[in-house]
Structure 1
C-alpha cells in the first residue's frame, strides 16, 4: 500500500475559536485555514506541524458526525489520516483484505482533498481516513 505520511490528526472540539486560541497561544502554532465542510456538518481549522497537520473539528449540527462523537465520547482525538496515492484502488485493496469501509467511494473533504474513512471496528478502534490530493 502506498501510504506516504500521516496527513493529519483530527481532533473534535466543542468550540473552534477557543481551541484555535489555545493551539496558537499555548503551543505557538499558527492556524493557516478555517473551512466549513457543509455535507459533513463540520467546521475545521488547520495547523501545520512539520509534514503533518492538526485538524480541529467543530460540529455545525448536533446530529453531525462530530456532534455525535462529542456527545458520546467528549472532546479529543477523532481520527488519524494517512496520505495515499491511488485512493480508489487503496479502498478496493483494504476491502479485499476484510477491512470494513465507512466510505465505499472517495468523496470531497476539507482542503479539496479526496477522502474516505475505514471503520474503526476494522482498525483496532481507530477511525482511519485515507486522503489524496486530486490530480
Structure 2
C-alpha cells in the first residue's frame, strides 16, 4: 500500500455541531436508528490534549453512529482552545475531519509534517491515541490519525 498513511480506508467522518443532543436526534430520526449516548472526552490528566504544541483543557461531547464500514462522529466542543473550537468558530457547523486507523503514530506525524501538514492537536483515549493533521489547504478537511493499542 502506497500513500502517506499506508491505508486509504476512511474509518470515520467527524462533524462539528453547536447542539449535540439536537443534531444526534436528527441523525437518529433520519436514519431510523437509536440515538447514541453522548459521551464527554477525558479530563486533561488522562487525555493529555495538546493544541498547536501547548497543553489544553479542551473537552468535547461526542456521539457516534456506526454506519456499516464508516463511523459518523458528532462533536460539540467546549470553549477551551482546540481544533474543534477554532474550526467551528471559523467554518461553522459541518465536516471537520476524515479519520484513518494507522500504525506508528510518531512516524506518521513526522512524515506528514515533513510534507507540509502540521500537527494541530493530539491526545490519548482509552485504548489508543489520536492526532489531527492540518491538511485543510490541500484536502479541504482535516485528517485524523487513530492508533489503537494492540490487545
Shorter-chain TM range is 0.7 to 0.9
- Native 8 Å contact 1:115 1:132 kept in 2: yes
- Native 8 Å contact 1:29 1:48 kept in 2: no
Structure 1 position 24 matched with structure 2 position 28: yes
Q: How far off is 1:4 after superposition?
A: 5.8
Query: Structure 2, unaligned stretches of length 5 or more?
Result: 44-56
The ranges of structure 1 where at least 4 consecutive aligned residues each deviate by more than 4 angstroms after the TM superposition are none
Q: Normalising by structure 2, what TM-score?
A: 0.73
Q: Secondary structure at the match of 1:108?
A: strand
Q: Which structure's residues are more often strand, by fraction? A: 1
Q: Secondary structure at the match of 2:88?
A: helix
- Aligned residue pair count: 132
Query: Structure 1, unaligned stretches of length 5 or more?
Result: none
Change (3 A) 1:93 1:55: same
Deviates more, 1:51-60 or 1:117-126: 117-126
CA deviations on 1:37-75 (whole Å, 9 max, x unpaired) are: 244321100000112100000122275543333332221
Q: Normalising by structure 1, what TM-score?
A: 0.80
RMSD: 2.4
Distance in 2 (alpha carbons) for counterparts of 1:55 and 1:115: 14
CA deviations on 1:103-133 (whole Å, 9 max, x unpaired) are: 4xx5214x64311111135643321111111
Q: Secondary structure at the match of 1:131?
A: strand
Among 4, 8, 24, the alignment partner of 2:12 is 8
Partner of 2:123: 107
Change (3 A) 1:6 1:113: farther
Among 75, 99, 117, the alignment partner of 1:81 is 99
After TM superposition, list the pairs within 5 Å mapping 1:1-135 onto structure 2: 1-3=5-7, 5-37=9-41, 38=43, 39-61=57-79, 64-103=82-121, 107-109=123-125, 112-121=127-136, 123-135=138-150
Q: Secondary structure at the match of 1:98?
A: coil
Change (3 A) 1:133 1:30: farther
